[in-house]
């Protein structure tokens, strides 16, 4: 039998999805699972988006332009202007989710063997996409003890060499929920400018910021306009993960035109998804305000509840809808699997994403899990009870330091 490629062999399984078979088996036994493992909001999609889908009146579901429907890109320009991000429609290439936007950025910005600096813990697919493109990931560690704040300029520069091509940020951050301050973004601007690097900034959670501190997008940074790539998606802000609509955005027209060649090769982004996404921009402010308040309440309930459990610690995140928590366990992989295979409390269990999968060295996340507070408050409260009961009997419990 022919051998698979080396890149296929080394790409890690998703820490978020690899436990699904065990979850399916638990459900088959009648066990209820509280899914805190994946960032799939339970918030309803805007009615204007659903109505647009229901009322599509077309005789042919044709290819869209490779860079996306013009009316949608124009409407996106208006959306970004609300955040003082001033761009033109031709700065935007609509993509099949934020994932494709990242893959296009990697294909256009890097040669095989080039290096990218990524803060970790990091969104696991960043590592997978980098490996697919032949990019070397150079992790720069952030720490749970200080809430995963950005490292110093000196720590970044210790990783920079002649092969370094870019820094990748997620702001607000997945998986930590950290929201980078204005001072930290200026620090990044200084590094990008000094070393002439790309800054790839994943900002899909911009609506979910739980602080009065100013929002500084990578697109706000002066003097590095041609260095910045913005990655975006409607998946989270409109609870539209399934329509697979994202965006690659840059003012660097040489880069934009290069990405357009890749976009033409894949023909077009999803037509129906663009129709829904365009309509959703008109969702009333009350829709976004309600989601915002709901996530603050969920965050407070979950994080405060975690910190009341003996041996558990979670910093209070200021963005997105995730938190990383350290638990008194020997292995996050073993614990998360055990929860599904061997444990239930009153017919219920919980599902988390093992923290080890968000680090290049699994040892760094061996006692951490990522939790997504995408369930209603009653379910989060129940999940906390189940977690505490699980930790009381888990065979690999340790003394958390």
Q: What is the pLDDT of residues 326-380, one digit of tens each?
A: 999 999 999 999 999 999 999 999 999 999 999 998 899 999 999 999 999 999 9
pLDDT in the model for residue 9: 86
Residue 399 has pLDDT above 80, yes or no: no
Q: Cα–Cα distance between 370 and 133 in angstroms, integer?
A: 26
Alpha helices in 11-90 (DSSP H): 20-28, 47-54, 70-81
Task: With cut-offs at 50, 70 and 90, classify the pLDDT of residue 8.
Answer: confident
Residue 13 has pLDDT above 80, yes or no: no
Radius of gyration of the chain (CA): 21
CA angle 248, 252, 258 (to 5 degrees): 65
Q: How many CB atoms lie within 10 A of CB 26?
A: 22
Q: Report the relative pairing of strands 198-202 and 322-326 from DSSP bridges.
A: unpaired
Digit-coded pLDDT (tens) for 253-292: 999 999 999 999 999 999 999 999 999 999 999 999 999 9
3-class secondary-structure state, position 352: coil
DSSP state, 394? Answer: -
Q: Cα–Cα distance between 68 and 205 in angstroms, integer?
A: 22
What are the CA-CA distances from residue 33 to residues 22, 219, 246, 370 (Å)?
A: 11, 40, 30, 16
Is residue 357 within 8 Å of 16, Cβ to Cβ? Answer: yes
Task: With cut-offs at 50, 70 and 90, classify the pLDDT of residue 400.
Answer: low
Burial class (CB in 10 A: 0-12, 13-18, 19+), 368: buried
Residue 401 has pLDDT above 80, yes or no: no
Mean pLDDT throughout 165-185? 98
Q: For each of the domains in the chain, give its residue range(s) and CATH number, in order of start.
A: 6-44+286-393 (3.90.1150.10), 60-280 (3.40.640.10)
Task: With cut-offs at 50, 70 and 90, classify the pLDDT of residue 11.
Answer: confident
Beta bridge partners of 158: none
Q: How many CB atoms lie within 10 A of CB 213?
A: 14
């Amino acid at each position: 039998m022919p051998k698979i490629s080396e890149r296929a062999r080394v790409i890690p399984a998703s820490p978020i999805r690899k436990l699904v078979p065990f979850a399916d088996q638990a459900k088959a036994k009648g066990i209820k699972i509280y899914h805190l493992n994946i960032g799939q909001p339970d918030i309803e999609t805007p009615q204007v988006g659903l109505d647009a889908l229901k009322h599509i009146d077309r005789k042919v579901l044709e290819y869209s332009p490779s860079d996306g429907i013009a009316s949608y890109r124009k409407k996106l320009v208006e959306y970004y202007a609300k955040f003082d991000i001033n761009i033109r429609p031709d700065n935007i290439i609509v993509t099949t989710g934020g994932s494709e936007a990242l893959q296009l950025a990697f294909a256009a910005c890097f040669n095989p063997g080039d290096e990218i600096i990524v803060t970790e813990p990091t969104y696991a697919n960043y590592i997978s996409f980098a490996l697919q493109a032949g990019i070397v990931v150079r992790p720069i560690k952030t720490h749970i003890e200080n809430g995963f704040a950005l490292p110093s300029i000196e720590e970044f520069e210790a990783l920079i060499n002649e092969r370094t091509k870019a820094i990748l940020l997620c702001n607000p951050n997945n998986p930590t929920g950290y929201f980078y301050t204005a001072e930290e973004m200026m620090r990044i601007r200084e590094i990008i400018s000094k070393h002439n690097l790309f800054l790839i900034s994943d900002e899909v959670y911009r609506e979910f910021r739980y602080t009065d501190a100013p929002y500084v997008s990578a697109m706000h940074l002066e003097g590095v306009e041609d260095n910045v790539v913005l990655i975006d998606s409607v998946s989270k802000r409109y609870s539209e993960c399934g329509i697979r609509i994202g965006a690659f955005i840059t003012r660097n027209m040489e880069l934009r035109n290069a990405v357009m060649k890749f976009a033409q090769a894949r023909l077009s982004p999803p037509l129906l998804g663009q129709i829904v996404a365009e309509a959703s921009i008109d969702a009333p402010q009350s829709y976004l305000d309600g989601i915002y308040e709901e996530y603050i309440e969920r965050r407070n309930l979950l994080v405060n509840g975690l910190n009341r459990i003996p041996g558990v610690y979670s910093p209070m995140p200021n963005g997105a809808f995730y938190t990383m928590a350290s638990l008194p366990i020997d292995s996050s992989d073993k614990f998360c699997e055990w929860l599904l295979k061997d444990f239930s409390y009153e017919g219920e269990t919980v599902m988390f994403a093992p923290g080890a999968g968000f680090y290049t060295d699994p040892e760094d996340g061996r006692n951490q899990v990522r939790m997504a507070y995408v369930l209603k408050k009653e379910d989060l409260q129940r999940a906390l009870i189940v977690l505490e009961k699980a930790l009381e009997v888990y065979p690999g419990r340790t003394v958390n330091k």
